[in-house]
Structure 1
Amino acid sequence: MFLYKIEIELPGKLAHLILLADNDEKAFSYAESHVARHFVKTPEIRSIAIVEKKRPELGSGFLIE
């Protein structure tokens, strides 16, 4: 398992998602699923990129500015 910080480029905005996944492929799949569930009408996803990846331990986290 890995903790991922993912950057999602949508029309007119940039979103950040923190999620837990077994591998990179599942992380991308989960990210698309989260976008679809978050918005009433699913926006066009221009790009999805893994910004950071680390093993989860007590105190693990990401700072998002």
Structure 2
Amino acid sequence: MAEEQTESYLYKLEAVLEDGRLMTVIVVAKTDERAFSSAENNLLRHTIAPPKIKELSLVEKKPLGRQGVGYVVETSRFSQ
């Protein structure tokens, strides 16, 4: 019997939608498979109409055991 993984990870995923939008999704999960499933569920809850996901990619994965672990997500630039 395989040993169950108990450590959780912080995942950063990017979703490319069919309408051209790029969404960054951050989730906590114990496995890559669960991270993808959670990301899809979060996208469904975040949008009014179910999004048509063209591509969902894992960008970064960090163990939660370290204090201060996190991500910087670059967003749109403001025009001045």
Whichever residue aligns with residue 22 of structure 2, its letter is: L
Q: In structure 1, list runs of 5 or more residues that go unmatched.
A: none
Higher relative contact order (CA 8 A, sep 6+): 1
1:52 corresponds in structure 2 to 60
TM-score computed with the length of structure 2 as normaliser: 0.77
Q: What is the rounded CA distance, in whole Å, between the counterparts of 1:25 and 1:12 in structure 2?
A: 25
Greater percentage in strand:
1
Greater percentage in helix:
1
> What percentage of residue pairs aligned between the two structures are identical?
42
Q: What is the rounded CA distance, in whole Å, between the counterparts of 1:32 and 1:17 in structure 2?
A: 9
Displacement over 2 Å in runs of 4+:
none
Q: In structure 2, list runs of 5 or more residues that go unmatched.
A: 1-7, 75-80
TM-score computed with the length of structure 1 as normaliser: 0.94
RMSD (CA atoms)? 0.7
How many residue pairs are counted as aligned between the two chains?
65
